[in-house]
Amino acid sequence: MGWTDALRNLEGFSGDRLYGEPLSKHTYFKIGGPATALAVPKSEGDLRLLAKLIASENVPYAILGLGSNLLVRDEGLDLLCLKTTKLPGAAAEEGDGIRAGAGIAVAAFLRKAADSGWDGFEAISGIPGTLGGVVAMNGGTHLGEAADLLLEVRTFDLRKPEAPLRARGRDELKFSYRKNHFLEPGEIVVDAKWKLVRGDSATIREKLDSLYRRRKETQPLDFPSCGSVFKNPKESGLRAWEVVEKLGLRGHRIGNAQIAEKHPNWILNLGDAKARDVIALIELVKSRAAAELGVTMVEEVRIL
C-alpha cells in the first residue's frame, strides 16, 4: 500500500483530501501541475494524523498557504501538499495581543482589525496571503514588516506528531528581509500573537482603504502574478524594478509570461502561461543583471 492509500484510509481525519489536484487552482499565479495529494487539515488533531502518516510512510511534503508567493513547476509535485487555510483559530484579543490562526487570510484579518479597533497593521495591508505565510515570509511593505508586529509564534512540528505546540516569544523570532530564521524544516505556524494597539475603527478603515487604492493604482492587479518576483538587491543601491528597467526588460515576454509594463519587478500570467516561461524570464533577468550590472538578483517568489 502506497502513502496515498494510507492517506485515503486515515481514520479520524476531518479535513479535505484531494488527489492529482492541479496546483494552478491553489496559487495566485494560476500556474502549476498536479500534486500527488493535497490535504487541508481542519484541526490540530488532523495535523497530528498527517504527521504520523508522514513519519511512518516517509512522505515528502510541502506547506501551502494561499499560494500567493509560490511558483509551482508545470510537471507538478510528487508529494503531499498541506494547505493551511482551514486551520482553526479565529482572531481574538488575548492579554496584550491578538491571537490569530495561521490560516486566516490577511484581508479577512484586517477587516476584523478595523471592526475591532486594532490599529497598526498598515505594513501588511494588501498582502494577499495567509497570516502564516506572512510570518514565514516576513511579509511587509515600505511601511514595515511582520517582524515589527509579532509578539509570539506557535508552531506544530510535523516531525514530532506527539509533541505539544512550540511557542516562541519575541526574542526567539529572528527575521531578515522577506525571510524568517527560526522555522525548522517540518514546522507549521499554527497561530501567532500580534501587537495590540487600540485605535478608532473608522480611521483604521480609512487608512487601510487608502493603501488599497494606492496599490490598485501602482500595481498590475489585472493578471495573475506572485507580486514582487525579486528581493531588492539592497547592496547595489537599486531597487529590483530599477534593475529590470535598466536592462530594458520592462514588458519583455516569453510565451504567455510577461514582465509587467506597470511594475517591472512583477511577472504576469497573461493566460495559461507555463512555469517554464516564468522561470526563463527569471533566469534572463538574473544572468543579465550579473553580466551587465554586476548585481546579484535573488528571488522572493518560492519555486516548488
Ligand X SMILES: Cc1cc2nc3c(=O)[nH]c(=O)nc-3n(C[C@H](O)[C@H](O)[C@H](O)COP(=O)(O)OP(=O)(O)OC[C@H]3O[C@@H](n4cnc5c(N)ncnc54)[C@H](O)[C@@H]3O)c2cc1C
Among 4, 43, 116, 141, the residue binding ligand X under the rule CB under 6 A is 141
User: Is 134 a binder of ligand X (CB under 6 A)?
Assistant: yes
**Nearest alpha carbon to residue 100 among 198, 175, 194, 196:** 194
User: Is 65 a binder of ligand X (CB under 6 A)?
Assistant: yes
User: Is 86 a binder of ligand X (CB under 6 A)?
Assistant: no
Instruction: Give the phi and the psi of residue 286 in degrees, each rounded to 5.
Output: -60, -45
| Segment contacting ligand X by CB under 6 A, of 32-40, 139-147, 161-169, 277-285 | 139-147
Among 24, 36, 130, 265, the residue binding ligand X under the rule CB under 6 A is 130
**Nearest alpha carbon to residue 80 among 23, 36, 22:** 36
**Number of residues near ligand X (by CB under 6 A):** 31
Task: Give the rounded distance of the alpha carbon of 64 from its chain centre.
Answer: 7
Question: Least distance in Å: CB of 124 to ligand X?
Answer: 7
C-alpha cell at 79: 508529494
C-alpha cell at 49: 494524523
User: Is 53 a binder of ligand X (CB under 6 A)?
Assistant: no
User: Does residue 127 contact residue 106 with C-beta atoms inside 8 Å?
Assistant: yes
User: Is 40 a binder of ligand X (CB under 6 A)?
Assistant: no
Q: Characterize the bridge pairing of strands 257-259 and 267-269.
A: antiparallel
Question: Least distance in Å: CB of 21 to ligand X?
Answer: 14
Question: Least distance in Å: CB of 216 to ligand X?
Answer: 11
The verdict on whether 300 is a catalytic residue reads yes
The residue (of 68 and 232) whose beta carbon lies closer to ligand X is 68
User: Does residue 159 contact residue 67 with C-beta atoms inside 8 Å?
Assistant: no
Tell me the three state secondary structure of residue 181. Answer: coil
Question: Least distance in Å: CB of 292 to ligand X?
Answer: 27
The residue (of 209 and 292) whose beta carbon lies closer to ligand X is 209
**Nearest alpha carbon to residue 31 among 43, 23, 39:** 23
Choose the catalytic residue: 122, 187, 299, 300. Answer: 300
Question: Least distance in Å: CB of 1 to ligand X?
Answer: 28
The residue (of 84 and 232) whose beta carbon lies closer to ligand X is 84
Where helices occur in the chain by DSSP H, the ranges are 3-8, 44-57, 106-116, 131-137, 146-149, 201-218, 240-246, 275-288
What is the Cα–Cα distance from 207 to 214, expressed in whole angstroms? Answer: 11
Choose the catalytic residue: 154, 228, 288, 299. Answer: 228
Q: Which positions are catalytic?
A: 178, 228, 300
Which residues contact ligand X by CB under 6 A?
28, 63-70, 84, 102, 126-130, 132-134, 136-137, 139-141, 183, 188-189, 225-227, 302
